[in-house]
Amino acid sequence: MAKNKFNQNWVHDHINDPYVKLAQKEGYRSRAVYKLKEIDETEKLIKSGQVIVDLGATPGGWSQYARHKLSGKEGGGINGEIYALDLLPMEPIADVDFIQGDFREEEVLAQLESKLQGKKVDVVLSDMAPNLSGNSTVDAARVEYIIELAVEFAKAHLKPNGALLVKCFHGPSYNTLVTLFKNEFKTVANKKPKASKDKSAEIFLLGKGLKNPH
């Protein structure tokens, strides 16, 4: 019964969520787009002409936003490149090159690398989150692992002045992840956009400028 009540509350909150309404009105696939938009507007992350990689892209809101920022005229292609990856399928987005597969597997990374053809990346975005079990120690380890992989990817593929933005959570591994970012990036900031729910432990870490570019 309690679970049913929880579901009803969630549905009620979701339907009345201003960001859900805005996403529907503006044609975005998820409310998460407004988290990226707010961070981008203050940090000027996404600019015309860039190469962008979106990890954990499905349903595609962040890729849609990046495409919007890189596009010239509607339907006239984009100035730049966007590569999106996810384990789950994603409805196609014009001018976004999507790879379905597990980011943790060498074969999937090799696919992405072959598409990049040696080009370095300006911005790596990761809204990835593992399936959470409710066990804080296990979940912290899963979050940490995914973010470590995103950092490894960024170290190997970012331009020296590139940026990595990842979704993180306030929890047992948070300080470890901040330290990891500080070891690898010249500037590190944490971001809690307005579209992140107040109750949520979600926070975003932004690293800019590699300390030891490859």
Three-class secondary structure of residue 178 per DSSP: helix
Cα separation, 62 vs 90, whole angstroms? 12
What angle do the packed helices 33-43 and 18-26 form, to 10 degrees?
80
In one letter, which amino acid is 63? Answer: S
Share of the chain above pLDDT 90, in %: 71
Q: Is 97 annotated as a binding residue?
A: no
pLDDT for 170: 86
pLDDT at 141 over 60: yes
Residues 96-112 have pLDDT tens digits of 999 999 888 999 989 99
123, two tokens: 């911005």
Query: Greater confidence, 5 or 135?
Result: 135
Q: Has residue 77 got a pLDDT over 90?
A: no
10 belongs to an annotated ligand binding site: no
- Which class would CATH give 30-210? alpha beta
Candidates 167, 194, 208, 211; catalytic one: 167
Among residues of the chain, what percentage have pLDDT more than 70? Answer: 91
- 3 annotated active-site: no
Per-residue pLDDT averaged across 133-145, rounded?
87
d(CA 2, CA 8): 10
Is 60 annotated to bind a ligand? Reply is yes
